[in-house]
Structure 1
Amino acid sequence: MVLTLHDIRYTYPGSPAPALDLVSATFAEGWCGIVGDNGCGKSTLARIACGLLAPDSGSTFPRLSAAYCPQDASTPPEMLEDFACDFSREAQRLRESLGIEDDMPWRFGALSYGEQKKLQVACALWQNPTVLALDEPTNHVDAPCRDALADALEGFRGIGLLISHDRALLNRLADRCLMHEAGSWTMRPGGYDRAHGEQERERVEASACKEAAKREAARLASEADARAHLAARTASRLSARHLDRHDRDGRVRRQLAVYSGKDGQAGVLASRMDARAARASEKAAAIRIAKRYDGSLWMDARPHPRATLLFMDEHDIACGQGSLQLPKLTLGHTDHVGVSGPNGGGKSTLVRHVLEQLPADVPTLVIPQEVERDEAGRVLARLHDADEMRRGRLLSFVTQLNSSAERILAGRDVSPGEMRKLMLAEGVLDGPSLIVMDEPTNHLDLHSAEALERALAAYPGALIVVSHDEAFLDACTSIRWTVEEGRVNAR
């Protein structure tokens, strides 16, 4: 069984350019990773494949039963109550494998984002669709849950579409990847590492070909210029205008050159060389290579003048149905703190408490796990209302995090990853002394996550990052607060 998308084109209302433009792909049984930068159309493609969006043109066939699990963890699944009331063997197996308690569906809104994500995926699997599209299924979840999700997804026997920045998950599940780069989509065999390796080899080869084509175009252009000068000198030399009217021999030689065609040969050669140079330039321009920003993103900020931003003695705080024990905690003006722990352990509770205890004179930028629709609208409105200089700086910032300024300015179909980049840019321009980010790599493509990692590591002020991505925390923080079993451990 296969699902085929043929020449799909889709443009969001009000957008200046299509999100998808003549995209074709065939999906067979098994998992296919869908990989690309934020805003390239991955989610749009998956929603069209599941029949949730109708393309402007093109076709999807055949029509198959489908389920789509969105990026937004806080969106309750449509079949949530049905799943909660089902105590069949399959429903029970899913609850057990994913660590879902019987009452969790009934208190969905009070759950952590990681727990909500587990329920989303469980409901999607429970429907047993022919086509299952999962949009960033490991966002918000801790390491044990990530492993449990991978185990559950391995058992799916339909057509699976996996949009993810989780390299380990892609390598474990996907046997092929549909990859977006330089404006086109290409299906490649293997998981992420194999597919990305092939993509990078082609990128290097294309870059070498482009440089060679540019050198050849420059050489031909130089030669064409030399031929043109030669043709001009030849034409001048063959002209009889400056000859003495009594110089019969000179006139005969020029007439002979005209008769033999020598007077036009240099001009013809120059014209041909111009044409070759133009073709070489066109060839160089036709070789497209995706732009990447691999430098360090400069954040124009300075540490707070006070060396210690916060000191808290040992105490307990309310957390869910119980409490969370806090040791002595200190936050210095240049400290980079990573907060880790299992889902539902109290990480967000700890961060909220820290923010409540901060002195009022500490400028703080807080980027939440999920951005509400109303807040996203306000952020976009401020972008459009900003003066030209500020708007340019904002868009330069997000461009350096590998997003399209043109797409963000369009503002109608900004992805969650792009919105978080814009919120970070907006906040950083205001010069915060402390940045707090909750799961900053959620919704970000791999290149953007790497760019953000470098930027936060170089940030000169104080930083608190909540994340399940241990490699990310190791790269940009040096202090760790671990929340587990009702207490916080600092090291």
Structure 2
Amino acid sequence: MQPTTLTINNITFTYPNTPEPLFENIDATFPTGWTAILGDNGIGKTTLTAIIRGSWKPDTGTIAPNPHRMIIGHCPQDTTIAPANLEDFTADWTPEAIAIRNDLKLCDDWPYRYSTLSGGERKRLQIACALASRPDVLILDEPTNHVDAQTRMHIIAAMRRHHGIGIVISHDTALIDATCSRCIILTRRHIGSRNVTVAETYPGGYTQTAAAMAMRNTADESALDAARRETKRLEIVKTQRYATVQRLDSARQSGRHINPKDHDARAALKYGRPTIGAASTRQYTQLDGRLAAARRHAEGLTTAAKRYDGNIWLDIEPSHRREILRLETGRITFDNPTDQPTHNPTSTTHKTSRNVTAADTSAYCQATYANNHIRLMPPDIANAEQSVLIGLMFPTISIGPRDHIAITGPNGTGKSTLLRAMLECATDVPRLVIAQNTTDDDAVRAVQQLHALPSGTRSQVLGAYAQLNADPDRLLAGGRPSPGELRKLLLCLALPERPQLIIMDEPTNHLDLSSKKTLARLLAQYPGALIVVSHDDWFLDLAGLSTNHQ
């Protein structure tokens, strides 16, 4: 019987060799339908779903039902990981499997050549295989990384086909609004003198959740401000009362305020039973309890942890060369044995396992270059999903030391391939290149590079890393950077080298929404040459790479 609810209770998890838990005492409920898990990079979203899947064991806590007694479909972030059931899906032509293929617009040959597919094509095939496993619980981790707008709509249609428990980790606000009825936010809250990770549940999609969170944060700040004001007021009153008690006590000891005719008072003073100032003393003593209660109340209130605005100083001068990259007119072929590439020094052959014939020679994508925008389009956009694309035709591309270039186009048209060809023709200038996908080895090398830096340079890198709302302390303590954190770290590690050329392929992959905005603002002020491949029009616009979409 398919479960209708999945519950996690009191989940605490600590990475090996790290001093503090990643999160503590997390509770959450996932009913039938889609729930989004949101939160900053590195806060533990993917780790939490690994615990839910039973892949990792928590320090404490329970999961019900037992994950090992359910069928759990999983689509990972990394598109290089082929689905475990890929061969089964390839042979599955049941009506349900055909419907999944139709929803995601899969080509029949894709399962046979997974390694040659674009990132967006692989992502669709990963999702298809996860759906085809007929899971009780379906977990999608960043399903719209690498994908264009049309592919996003195909993924939304496929997600709606799943009628069990669905969990999606995503920073794609449009996807969440289109599919999710509730959101669970992993967020850092400041409690007393420390920051802790908590899970908060909100009804609705991203837009409704963001509005509720903003109201919550405003109310929390107001409550904390009021509590602090009350504590300060009581501290002032206590100081004033203390001065009064001291004054009265001094007067009582001297007896100068006692009426000469008040024989009882004078006798009390003489025989050690003073009465003057007793009421004030009692009031002063009572203030201690009120002040302690006010302080406990203020310390118990939680507020959102401090966030940074990504204000990173770029001490970088552009190259003095007139031209730092030039790619002559030509074409790139996709392992076409019957059609040789044009003979010019910069033409590149990109090898894949596609089998094509001479009849396919017209199926070239076309790149246009105007107004700092390189746009790639298949030969017939109306039939792009089923076209056999054998290569890319491109005009002469010349990039100067201050040019900022956007490269756009549907999935599978050769954007990353063109980027590699351009990089081969770049002059010898300091550069930073961040690819679509990063690996565990990339993370290990980046952390080793960080620790090998001189202390002053390391402090500079970690300061920039913190400005991107990442946690330097966790990184230094041996924490493994998430894919989003790794992208931030790679960028910050390059800044001391003063790169004069930055090339980024899908830079918003894996990044949380706040980090995307911060990165866009940073790139907008970058003084050197910049080349960015992206499907996110809003990001390109914010980064000053407006593509003038019609």
TM-score by length of 2: 0.81
1:458 equivalent to 2:525? Answer: yes
Query: 2:407 is matched with which residue?
Result: 339
Q: 3-state DSSP class of the match of 1:308?
A: coil
Q: 1:377 to 1:257 in 2, by over 3 A?
A: farther
Following superposition, the deviation at residue 100 of structure 1 comes to 2.1
Give the share of equivalent positions with the same residue, in percent: 40
User: Equivalent of 2:219, from 189, 192, 205?
Assistant: 205
Query: 1:70 is matched with which residue?
Result: 76
1:158 equivalent to 2:158? Answer: no
Following superposition, the deviation at residue 374 of structure 1 comes to 1.4
Query: 1:170 is matched with which residue?
Result: 176
1:8 equivalent to 2:18? Answer: no
Query: Deviation per CA, 1:443-473, whole angstroms, max 9, x where unpaired?
Result: 1111221221222222222211111111101
Counterpart residue identity of residue 277, structure 1 = L
The 2-side partners of 1:207 and 1:258 are apart by 51
User: Equivalent of 2:315, from 296, 300, 305?
Assistant: 300
Counterpart residue identity of residue 147, structure 1 = M
Q: 1:386 to 1:257 in 2, by over 3 A?
A: farther
Following superposition, the deviation at residue 263 of structure 1 comes to 4.1
Following superposition, the deviation at residue 87 of structure 1 comes to 2.2
Following superposition, the deviation at residue 401 of structure 1 comes to 1.2
User: Equivalent of 2:459, from 383, 387, 392?
Assistant: 392
Query: 1:327 is matched with which residue?
Result: 395
The 1-side partners of 2:333 and 2:532 are apart by 21
Alignment check: 8 A CA contact 2:252 2:274 kept: no
**Alignment of structure 1 residues 47-58 onto 2, 5 Å:** 47-58=50-61
Following superposition, the deviation at residue 42 of structure 1 comes to 1.1
Query: 1:316 is matched with which residue?
Result: 331
Alignment check: 8 A CA contact 1:297 1:451 kept: no
**Alignment of structure 1 residues 44-443 onto 2, 5 Å:** 44-63=47-66, 64-181=70-187, 182=189, 183-240=197-254, 252=266, 255=269, 259=273, 261-290=275-304, 291-294=306-309, 296-319=311-334, 321=336, 322-360=390-428, 362-443=429-510
Following superposition, the deviation at residue 286 of structure 1 comes to 2.6
Query: 1:33 is matched with which residue?
Result: 36
Following superposition, the deviation at residue 136 of structure 1 comes to 0.5
Counterpart residue identity of residue 235, structure 1 = D
The 2-side partners of 1:198 and 1:146 are apart by 26
Alignment check: 8 A CA contact 1:20 1:45 kept: no
The 2-side partners of 1:227 and 1:413 are apart by 54
Q: 1:257 to 1:370 in 2, by over 3 A?
A: farther
Following superposition, the deviation at residue 73 of structure 1 comes to 1.2
The 2-side partners of 1:252 and 1:156 are apart by 90
Q: Which runs of 5+ in 1 are unaligned?
A: 483-490
Following superposition, the deviation at residue 258 of structure 1 comes to 6.2
The 2-side partners of 1:173 and 1:87 are apart by 27
Query: Deviation per CA, 1:86-110, whole angstroms, max 9, x where unpaired?
Result: 2222222222332322222222122
Query: Deviation per CA, 1:32-59, whole angstroms, max 9, x where unpaired?
Result: 0111111221112212222222222211
RCO (CA 8 Å, sep 6+): is it higher in 1 or 2?
1
**C-alpha root-mean-square deviation of aligned residues, in Å?**
2.7
Query: Deviation per CA, 1:282-311, whole angstroms, max 9, x where unpaired?
Result: 333332222222353332322223343234
Counterpart residue identity of residue 455, structure 1 = L
Query: Deviation per CA, 1:227-283, whole angstroms, max 9, x where unpaired?
Result: 22222333333334999xxxx999938818963543454444334334433433333
Query: Deviation per CA, 1:401-459, whole angstroms, max 9, x where unpaired?
Result: 11222222233432111111111110122211111111111111112212212222222
Query: 2:383 is matched with which residue?
Result: none
Following superposition, the deviation at residue 175 of structure 1 comes to 0.4
Q: 1:302 to 1:266 in 2, by over 3 A?
A: farther
Following superposition, the deviation at residue 24 of structure 1 comes to 1.2
Counterpart residue identity of residue 471, structure 2 = S
Alignment check: 8 A CA contact 1:97 1:148 kept: yes
Alignment check: 8 A CA contact 2:325 2:399 kept: yes
Alignment check: 8 A CA contact 2:461 2:495 kept: no
The 2-side partners of 1:161 and 1:469 are apart by 23
Q: 3-state DSSP class of the match of 2:392?
A: strand
Q: 1:278 to 1:459 in 2, by over 3 A?
A: farther
The 1-side partners of 2:446 and 2:94 are apart by 45
Structure ranking higher in helix proportion: 1
Q: For structure 1, which segment, 342-351 or 455-464, has the greater mean C-alpha deviation from structure 2 after superposition?
A: 455-464
Alignment check: 8 A CA contact 2:309 2:468 kept: no
The 2-side partners of 1:256 and 1:197 are apart by 70
Following superposition, the deviation at residue 66 of structure 1 comes to 0.8
Q: 1:241 to 1:319 in 2, by over 3 A?
A: farther
Q: 1:269 to 1:103 in 2, by over 3 A?
A: same
Q: 3-state DSSP class of the match of 2:37?
A: strand
Counterpart residue identity of residue 539, structure 2 = F
Alignment check: 8 A CA contact 1:338 1:481 kept: no
Query: Deviation per CA, 1:300-344, whole angstroms, max 9, x where unpaired?
Result: 322223343234443333345433222232322222211111111
The 1-side partners of 2:402 and 2:488 are apart by 22
The 1-side partners of 2:157 and 2:236 are apart by 62
Counterpart residue identity of residue 477, structure 1 = G
The 2-side partners of 1:308 and 1:128 are apart by 55
TM-score by length of 1: 0.91
Alignment check: 8 A CA contact 1:333 1:461 kept: yes
Counterpart residue identity of residue 335, structure 1 = D
Query: Deviation per CA, 1:129-174, whole angstroms, max 9, x where unpaired?
Result: 0100101000011111111010111111000001100000100100
The 2-side partners of 1:340 and 1:257 are apart by 96
Q: 1:295 to 1:390 in 2, by over 3 A?
A: closer
Alignment check: 8 A CA contact 1:338 1:477 kept: no
Q: Which runs of 5+ in 2 are unaligned?
A: 190-196, 337-389
Alignment check: 8 A CA contact 2:255 2:269 kept: no
